[in-house]
Amino acid sequence: MPNSDMIILEVLGISVEKRNMSAIKDVVKEEYGRLKELADFYNHKIASLPKGSITQKKRDDRVYYYLSYRDHHKVISEYPGKEDSEKYRITVQMVAQGRRYEIKLKETRESIRQVERLIRAAE
């Protein structure tokens, strides 16, 4: 019966001699550490950027844009300035960057789960 290391590699489409297994285990553990650091990086970046989304409210014939987010159970709306202002543009860019980091963090967490499964199966 083949050992679990060989089964994992066969599932991944890799054929390896047994003597190369320790090198592969080391690479997988190294990748796990790299992914954990990357998740920490994304968490730190997300925490430094504004939460929420840009919403638009219409009053009379004018449109106003707000940064809306939750603070516990309360929705907070902050006015970042007129649509053509520098502050508004920076706020929109920061919110968009936060969203990109959240997507990357989700992908990284999924990769971490996959590597953890590999590590558990190899033990």
pLDDT of residue 96: 96
Mean pLDDT of the chain: 86
Question: For 93-118, what is the mean pLDDT?
Answer: 95
| Distance from C-alpha of 66 to C-alpha of 81, rounded to nearest angstrom | 8
Domain total in the chain = 1
Helix (H) or strand (E) holding 1: none
pLDDT at 26 over 90: no
Local confidence band at 19 (pLDDT 50, 70, 90 cut-offs): low
Q: Which domain holds residue 69?
A: 4-122
pLDDT of residue 1: 44
Q: pTM value?
A: 0.74
The alpha carbon of 83 is separated from its chain's Cα centroid by a whole number of angstroms, namely 29
More confident call, 26 vs 90: 90
